[in-house]
Amino acid sequence: MPAIKFRGVDFIGFDALLNDDERLVRDTARSFIEDNLVPIIEECNRAGRFPRELVKPMADLGFFGASLNGYGCAGMSNVEYGLVTQELERGDSGVRSFVSVQSALVMYPIYTFGSDEQKNTWLPAMQKGEKLGCFGLTEPDFGSNPGGMRTRAKKVGKEYVLNGEKMWITSGTIADVAVIWAKVDDEADKVRGFLVETDRPGFKAADIHGKWSLRASVTSGLSLQDVHIPESNLLPGSDGLKSPLMCLNQARFGIAWGAIGAAMACYDCALQYSLLRKQFRDQPIASHQLVQEKLAWMISEITKAQLLVLQVGRLKDTGKVQHQHISMAKRNNVWMALECARLSRDILGANGVADDYPIMRHLMNLESVKTYEGTHDIHTLIIGASVTGIDAF
Ligand SMILES: Cc1cc2nc3c(=O)[nH]c(=O)nc-3n(C[C@H](O)[C@H](O)[C@H](O)COP(=O)(O)OP(=O)(O)OC[C@H]3O[C@@H](n4cnc5c(N)ncnc54)[C@H](O)[C@@H]3O)c2cc1C
């Protein structure tokens, strides 16, 4: 079977809905991924290795903090940023996760809640990829319900002292700085964000091994035992649980686009394979109605997902987006991508389980993407609360 090369996926002239700048950003990211990530990703996935060598080239293309303004950031529109995450995840969800964390979960809170000193210290270095960050919200006992967190910060003189455990933290062991969310003792347990340099005494990070998903991304547990930080490391604008949720909204928006990339990779691979692979009467499997039904389902759902996320992006670019819009896009598009990965794997038969093709990797990655940044069920409840006015959590 000849090597299958991605050809793009556009059934209804979606590209005509994009402006020249948006297409240019998308095409630049697409070429970068094709030339630099696709050739190495299967080896990275097998080895469980994050391709750190791509950090600098991604920084040079403006991928970090892409939709922020100033501090060397690219100042892309939200739609442009979304198209970048789509192409990154077409390569691999783990590499897209790294960029999402660096951009939406570390640079964004520093940009939005940080002091001028914090912004000047961290944002230019993070934009250049010289400093890496991680985002510590989830704990061993609190995932979907982060409000239950046990991590605490206590003010002692001109310092805060932090204690707690964080779990499932992307980039934990490679980060220079961790955004840690903690309840503050003398502020009635209000949740606030803190910048914790990872070389501070009492801070430890250890990788989680044995993951069958996002193997090209680093995932870690963090432990904070009497970690002293100056009071100036508090993110002064952070104000309760809504602050980390604002960060998650940024990341979820990128994921909603990213999932389309993974779905496109699987669909296009399955389509090309089905035209080459012959079974019964020397005919391509694409000639069988049951195979066509799968392809028709996939292209229909990818097309609907593109339109959904483009509208959400346009709303975001005009300041009109609501969190439930982003929840719908994340929930629908990740579900859609996972279904596409499963159907595509099926179309490839036995070849579908081997890493000569990208599908099984995407399938395994998307299981994490379905769970993190608000599980599929939690987004169902967010949409349900939005339309009924009743919280069902
Ligand atoms: C690879 C990976 C990377 C991650 N990176 C980060 C990171 O960088 N930073 C970070 O802070 N976190 C990170 N996470 C953690 C992620 O955000 C959590 O796993 C997620 O929030 C779900 O929490 P949980 O795993 O504890 O599942 P739980 O909350 O225990 O949920 C388990 C199941 O119960 C369901 N459930 C829970 N509550 C309800 C309810 N009220 N109604 C109906 N169903 C419910 C869920 O939908 C799910 O199906 C990462 C996770 C993974 C897998």
Percent of the chain exceeding pLDDT 90 equals 99
Q: What pLDDT, on the 0 to 100 scale, is given for residue 123?
A: 98
Specify the ligand 1 atom closest to the Cα of 136: 11
Tokens representing 379 are 């987004």
Tokens representing 315 are 């709303």
| pLDDT(95) > 90 | yes
Average pLDDT for residues 176-199, to the nearest whole number?
97
Specify the ligand 1 atom closest to the Cα of 145: 29
Q: What pLDDT, on the 0 to 100 scale, is given for residue 142?
A: 98
| pLDDT(2) > 80 | no
Q: Which of 219, 247, 372 to mutate to test the pocket of ligand 1 (most atoms within 8 A of CB)?
A: 372
Which sign, positive or negative, has the C-alpha torsion 306, 307, 312, 318?
Answer: positive
Distance 24 CA to ligand 1 centre (A): 35
- DSSP strand pairing (133-136 vs 177-184): parallel
CA angle at residue 19 from 91 to 4, to 5 degrees?
A: 30
Specify the ligand 1 atom closest to the Cα of 392: 41
Average pLDDT for residues 324-348, to the nearest whole number?
98
Task: Report the nearest-CA residue for atom 29 of ligand 1.
Answer: 144
Cβ proximity of 185 and 162 under 8 Å = no
Task: Report the nearest-CA residue for atom 40 of ligand 1.
Answer: 393
- Residue 345's pLDDT band (cuts 50, 70, 90): very high
| pLDDT(24) > 70 | yes
| 98 CB within 6 A, ligand 1 | no
| 380 CB within 6 A, ligand 1 | no
Average pLDDT for residues 205-213, to the nearest whole number?
97
Q: Which of 98, 138, 198 to mutate to test the pocket of ligand 1 (most atoms within 8 A of CB)?
A: 138
256-304 pLDDT, tens per residue? 999 999 999 999 999 999 999 999 999 999 999 999 999 999 999 999 9
Its pTM surpasses 0.85: yes
CA distances from 17 to 20, 171, 307, 317, 319 (A): 10, 35, 9, 15, 19
Cβ proximity of 270 and 108 under 8 Å = no
| 371 CB within 6 A, ligand 1 | yes
Query: Average pLDDT of the chain?
Result: 97
Q: What pLDDT, on the 0 to 100 scale, is given for residue 211?
A: 97
| 378 CB within 6 A, ligand 1 | yes
Q: Other C-beta atoms within 10 Å of 338: how many? A: 22
Q: What pLDDT, on the 0 to 100 scale, is given for residue 368?
A: 98
Q: What pLDDT, on the 0 to 100 scale, is given for residue 3?
A: 75
Q: What pLDDT, on the 0 to 100 scale, is given for residue 1?
A: 63
Q: What pLDDT, on the 0 to 100 scale, is given for residue 379?
A: 98
Is 373 an active-site residue? yes
| pLDDT(307) > 80 | yes
| 143 CB within 6 A, ligand 1 | yes
Q: Which of 166, 213, 224, 371 to mutate to test the pocket of ligand 1 (most atoms within 8 A of CB)?
A: 371
Average pLDDT for residues 306-312, to the nearest whole number?
98
Cα separation of 297 and 290, whole Å? Answer: 11
Burial of 388 (0-12, 13-18, 19+ CB in 10 A): exposed
Distance 57 CA to ligand 1 centre (A): 31
| pLDDT(124) > 90 | yes
Specify the ligand 1 atom closest to the Cα of 381: 42
| 377 CB within 6 A, ligand 1 | yes
35-78 pLDDT, tens per residue? 999 999 999 999 999 999 999 999 999 999 999 999 999 999 99
| pLDDT(186) > 90 | no
Tokens representing 377 are 């069920």
210-230 pLDDT, tens per residue? 999 999 999 999 999 999 999
Count of helix runs (H) and strand runs (E) in the chain = 12, 7
Average pLDDT for residues 358-375, to the nearest whole number?
98
Q: What pLDDT, on the 0 to 100 scale, is given for residue 262?
A: 98
